Amino acid sequence: MKFTDGFWALRPGVTAHYAQEAYDVEVDGDEIVVVAPTRPIRSRGNVLNLPVLTVTLSSPAEGVVKVSVAHHTGGRPRRGFELDAPGAGKVETTDEGAVLTTGDLRAVVRRGTPWDISFWHGDRRLTGSGHKSLGYLQLAADAAVAAEPAGLTGVTTTGLAGPGTYVHAQLDLGVGETVYGLGERFGPLVKNGQSVDIWNSDGGTSSDQAYKNVPFYLTNRGYGVFVDHPEHVSFEVGSEAVERVQFSVPGEVLEFFVIDGPGPKDVIDRYTRLTGRPPIVPAWSYGLWLSTSFTTDYDESTVTSFIDGMRERDIPLSVFHFDCFWMREFQWTDLVWDERVFPDPVGMLDRLHRELDLRVSVWVNPYIAQRSRLFAEGAEKGYLVRRPDGSIWQWDMWVAGMALVDFTNPEAVRWYQDSLRVVLEQGVDAIKTDFAERIPTDVVWHDGTDPHVMHNLYTHLYNKAVWDVLREVKGDGEAVLFARSATAGGQQFPVHWGGDNTSTFESMAETLRGGLSLAASGFGYWSHDIGGFEGTPDPAVFKRWLQFGLLSSHSRLHGSQSYRVPWAFDEEAVEVTRRFARLKNSLMPYLFTVGADAAATGVSVARPMLFDFPEDPAVTYLDRQYMLGPDILVAPVLSADGTVELYLPAGTWTHLLTGEKVTGGRWVREQHGFDSLPIYVREGAVLPRGTREDRPDYDYLDGLVLEVFSDGGEVDTSVDVVTVEGRRVTFTVTGAGEDVRAVGPDGVTAQVRVR
211-245 per-position pLDDT tens digit: 999 999 999 999 999 999 999 999 999 999 999 99
Mean pLDDT of 676-702: 98
Q: Mean pLDDT lowest for which of 143-157, 328-342, 640-654?
A: 143-157
Residue 189 and residue 177: Cα distance in Å, rounded? Answer: 13
Residue 667 and residue 428: Cα distance in Å, rounded? Answer: 47
pLDDT digits (tens, 9 = 90+) for 503-556: 999 999 999 999 999 999 999 999 999 999 999 999 999 999 999 999 999 999
Residue 300 and residue 322: Cα distance in Å, rounded? Answer: 10
433: pLDDT strictly greater than 50: yes
pLDDT at res. 585: 98
Nearest to 117 by CA among 103, 134, 94, 135: 134
pLDDT at res. 155: 56
Q: What b/e string do you get for 509-535 counting C-beta neighbours within 10 Å, with b at 16 or more?
A: bbbbbbbbbbbbbbbbbbbbbbbbbbb
pTM, to two decimals? 0.97
Same fold? 4-74+81-275, 283-363+413-433+456-586: no
pLDDT digits (tens, 9 = 90+) for 625-634: 999 999 999 9
Catalytic residues: 434, 437, 500
The topology (CATH level 3) of 606-667 is Immunoglobulin-like (2.60.40)
75/650: higher pLDDT? 650
Residue 417 and residue 617: Cα distance in Å, rounded? Answer: 49
pLDDT at res. 1: 82
146: pLDDT strictly greater than 70: no
Residue spans per domain, the chain? 4-74+81-275, 283-363+413-433+456-586, 606-667, 686-754
pLDDT bucket at 605, cuts 50 / 70 / 90:
very high
Superfamily for the 686-754 domain: Golgi alpha-mannosidase II (2.60.40.1180)
Residue 363 and residue 431: Cα distance in Å, rounded? Answer: 6
The topology (CATH level 3) of 283-363+413-433+456-586 is TIM Barrel (3.20.20)
Superfamily for the 4-74+81-275 domain: glycosyl hydrolase (family 31) (2.60.40.1760)
Q: How many other C-beta atoms lie within 10 A of the C-beta of residue 343?
A: 12
148: pLDDT strictly greater than 80: no
Mean pLDDT of 271-287: 97
463: pLDDT strictly greater than 60: yes
pLDDT digits (tens, 9 = 90+) for 92-114: 999 999 999 999 999 999 999 99
How many contiguous H segments (helices) and E segments (strands) does the chain have? Answer: 12, 45
**Residue 64, preceding bond cis, omega within 30 degrees?**
no
Residue 631 and residue 538: Cα distance in Å, rounded? Answer: 32
